[in-house]
């Protein structure tokens, strides 16, 4: 991966969450949007703040409980 390349680590998100500047991004679980980000980088989004990631980081989709369905589901933007 090139330093300025943006990698989407939330493909199911309507806004997208992108990693910039990582040494490598590994998709561990594409169903649950789980990625290992290797090396210092930034997590850039349009609907949240930009986060500085100083070390290897595990990123996964947030799951929330829906009391009406009595089940967990992926969080929505």
Residue 16 banded pLDDT, cuts 50, 70, 90: confident
Per-residue pLDDT tens digits for 17-67: 999 999 999 999 988 899 999 999 999 988 888 999 999 999 998 888 999
Residue 3 banded pLDDT, cuts 50, 70, 90: very low
Query: Residue 13 has what pLDDT?
Result: 82
**pTM to 2 decimal places:** 0.80
- Which pairs from 52-61 meet CB under 8 Å and 24+ separation? 53/19, 53/22, 58/28, 58/34, 59/9, 59/10, 59/17, 59/19, 59/33, 59/34, 59/35, 60/29, 60/32, 60/33, 60/34, 60/35, 61/10, 61/12, 61/13, 61/32, 61/33, 61/34
């Amino acid at each position: 991966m090139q330093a300025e390349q943006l990698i989407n680590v939330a493909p199911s998100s309507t806004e997208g969450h992108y990693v910039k500047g990582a040494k490598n991004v590994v998709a561990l679980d594409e169903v649950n949007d789980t990625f290992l980000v290797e090396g210092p980088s930034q997590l850039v989004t349009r609907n949240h703040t930009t986060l500085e990631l100083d070390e290897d980081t595990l990123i996964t989709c947030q799951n929330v409980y829906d009391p009406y369905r009595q089940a967990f589901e992926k969080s929505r933007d």
